[in-house]
Amino acid sequence: MARRKKIYEGKAKILYEGPEPGTLVQYFKDDATAFNAEKRAVIEGKGVLNNRLSEFFMTGLGQIGIPTHFIRRLNMREQLIRQVEIIPLEIIVRNVAAGSMAKRLGIEEGTQLPRPIVEFSYKDDALGDPLVPEEYIIAFGWASQQDMDDIVSLALRVNDWMSGVMYGVGIKLVDFKIEVGRVWDNEFPRLLLADEISPDSCRLWDIETGQKLDKDVFRRDLGNLTDAYTEVAKRLGVMPSNVTHRPKPTLIN
Ligand SMILES: Nc1ncnc2c1ncn2[C@@H]1O[C@H](COP(=O)(O)OP(=O)(O)OP(=O)(O)O)[C@@H](O)[C@H]1O
Ligand SMILES: [Mg+2]
């Protein structure tokens, strides 16, 4: 088989040309990075878990009518997606103060916010993905006012669904980041939820114990990241099938 063309290699994923025009294959690596890639490690099994978990979240969101780039999972580490023009923003929704927000405003981490807050940072690694106001986004033409209105309402719907699903398995959705892209259907632009939704891009705290079950485990050296992600996958009933697979015994009469 001819080698697939690599389109892009990022910190956590690789994009390959897909089997049909307008499609890509998204490969989930085991690489973990934090603090704008100053801290790095290879964490065995992370890619497999994130592929599964992102499939789970994107499929569920698709079922409540949120358009996503996800087409289908291909194997343990790869999924087929629709190619989009990524809007160069990280769209962050926060329910509880944590991370950069807690630091910036001097709010104690864990403080419930008065309502979900949506914020944007400009995707530019060299600049450290700076926080930007909507005014900049529109002025610089990264997205239109209509796009921004649609993005905020999409982000809040994602937040409501994700919060409910996680609450159901005893996990608090503290905050998360999404990316959105544009596709063209007969000259009409449409926005799709893209990239990934996984414990790499969310903050997830156990409701009972406050235990962190997300990438902060890696950022802050709190233990084994694969164990934390496996716990999330287990609770959601999304365990990777053949990781613990053993052939079934055959009954002989
Ligand atoms: N459906 C899609 N079509 C095109 N590009 C996509 C799609 N979904 C995600 N992407 C892009 O693919 C890349 C995924 O790789 P990864 O997440 O490893 O990147 P990264 O290291 O975080 O870098 P960055 O996001 O800053 O480019 C990201 O650039 C993301 O914006
Ligand atoms: Mg990324």
Q: Where do the domains of the chain lie, and which CATH numbers do they carry?
A: 6-82 (3.30.200.20), 85-224 (3.30.470.20)
DSSP character at residue 200: T
Q: For residue 12, how far is its CA from the centre of ligand 2 (angstroms)?
A: 6
What does the pLDDT read at residue 245?
A: 47
Residue 186 has pLDDT above 70, yes or no: yes
Q: For residue 123, how far is its CA from the centre of ligand 1 (angstroms)?
A: 10
Please write the tens of the pLDDT for every residue from 56-101: 999 999 999 999 999 999 999 999 999 999 999 999 999 999 999 9
- 240 pLDDT band, cuts 50/70/90, is low
Q: Report the b/e string of 62-85 with b at 16+ CB within 10 A.
A: eeeeeebbbbebeebbbbbbbbbe
Calculate mean pLDDT across residues 103-132: 97
DSSP character at residue 26: E
Q: What is the largest CA-CA distance in the chain?
A: 76
Strand partners, 9: 14
What does the pLDDT read at residue 244?
A: 52
Would you say 17 and 25 are in contact if contact means Cβ atoms under 8 Å apart? Answer: yes
Ligand 1 atom nearest to 194, measured from its CA: 8
Q: For residue 25, how far is its CA from the centre of ligand 1 (angstroms)?
A: 12
102 lines ligand 1 (CB under 6 A): no
- 128 pLDDT band, cuts 50/70/90, is very high
69 lines ligand 1 (CB under 6 A): yes
25 lines ligand 1 (CB under 6 A): no
